[in-house]
Amino acid sequence: MDKLELIATSAFGLESIVANELKNLGYENLIVENGKVTFKADQNAIARCNLWLRSADRLLVKIGEFDALTFEDLFEKTRKLPWIDWLPENAEFPVEGKSIRSRLFSVPDCQAITKKAIVEKMKEKYHRNWFDETGPRYRIEVSLLSDVATLTIDTSGAGLHKRGYRKLSAEAPLKETLAAAMISLSRWKPDRALIDPFCGSGTIPIEAALIGRNIAPGLGREFMAEKWPNLKRDIWQKARSEAKDLIDNTQPLGITSFDINPAVLELARYHAKQAGLRNILQFQCQDVRDLRSKYNYGYLVCNPPYGERLSEKKEVEQLYREMSKAFDRLNTWSFYILTSHPALEKLVQRKADKRRKLYNGRIKCTYYQYFGPRPEKLEGPFSK
């Protein structure tokens, strides 16, 4: 177990962001594919990546991969994998599955066969016929894609978007992982002002503040692999200690957030408090029509209403027209807008400098990017 093969999964469109985060953590030779980034590392990476990855969904340990054309293939090749290196005698190991473009298309059958093969392997090691599964949890997945089976164990538990600060939820909340990716794609730096005019429950400004202060997003939660006896006990303690030492509490931040709904602003303030950021984030009740800033340069990053419901469409389109006035007033700022509405550019009367396809849950969206001019010099209290 000195060198493990790990998989950081992600939403489609965020793979390159996750790969860049892994590079910043010091991991190399990354294999980037649809929905995942695969790499090799030691046990310490399980703790470090779970704590630090901002845009990934989960971190998996890859146990094996092979062609599986028949159920016999699946059983025999699964049984030969090194499950004993991972699963203690009392392990709880549910098996989940998925199958895409494969001859073995029955997911329940694939799950049952995988489970049976693992049990047979454990019988050889522990010399018993029944396992109570009362111990630590190891969530196993059998994933079949074009007749290739990949067997993994999830190290994260709850998805990595669950940072721990969002105890309550507004309607249609933006995932923390997507919000962090939006900040990364904007190339915002903490010495520049940032505004979210539709902050809702506060996810974008909170994720920006975590980035600006270099706070590991997973510091406030636990992970499934923390209870695994086969991992070195000190990897989590070392990783958490390292993360705490790297926090920059001296970095000034100019992050301001607005919304017209006082109730969701209270929710945003609550979440900021839970994240330990209440004193450095500002939340104000304001209509986008009144949006202004005392700073000549900055970033506007937002996830406005989409108008997915027909009854809301006209109202949302008028909202986007009002946004165009903010463009005019903040004409030296950069704007980054995520929406599924196909006519955003027409409604704000500007063609985006760059577009990127992203998914907000199951909603296919476009991330419209409008680049402002480079500042002649850094200004204000956010200058370094």
pTM: 0.94
Percent of the chain's residues with pLDDT above 70: 96
Q: Which of 8, 6, 4 is nearest to 54 (CA)?
A: 8
Q: Which of 55, 10, 13, 35 is nearest to 365 (CA)?
A: 13
> ∠335-206-46 over CA atoms, to 5°?
110
Task: Count the residues in the chain.
Answer: 384
pLDDT tens, position by position, 227-253: 999 998 899 999 999 999 999 999 999
* Residues 285, 259: Cα–Cα separation, whole Å: 5
Lowest mean pLDDT, pick from 14-28, 49-63, 293-307: 293-307
Q: What is the mean pLDDT of residues 31-57?
A: 97
CA 72 to chain centre: 37
Answer yes or no: is pLDDT of 274 > 90. Answer: yes
* Residues 35, 18: Cα–Cα separation, whole Å: 10
Residues 6+ apart with CB under 8 A from 245: none
**CA separation (Å) from 186 to 215, 259, 371?**
19, 21, 9
Q: DSSP characters for 284-305?
A: EE--GGG---S-SSEEEEE---
Give 147 or 377, the one with higher predicted confidence: 147
pLDDT tens, position by position, 157-189: 999 999 999 876 656 679 999 999 999 999 999
Q: What is the mean pLDDT of residues 354-373?
A: 95
Percent of the chain's residues with pLDDT above 90: 87
Answer yes or no: is pLDDT of 310 > 90. Answer: no
pLDDT at residue number 384: 38
User: Domains along the chain?
Assistant: 4-154 (3.30.2130.30), 176-215+247-382 (3.40.50.150)
Answer yes or no: is pLDDT of 38 > 80. Answer: yes
* Residues 354, 188: Cα–Cα separation, whole Å: 16
Residues 6+ apart with CB under 8 A from 115: 93, 95
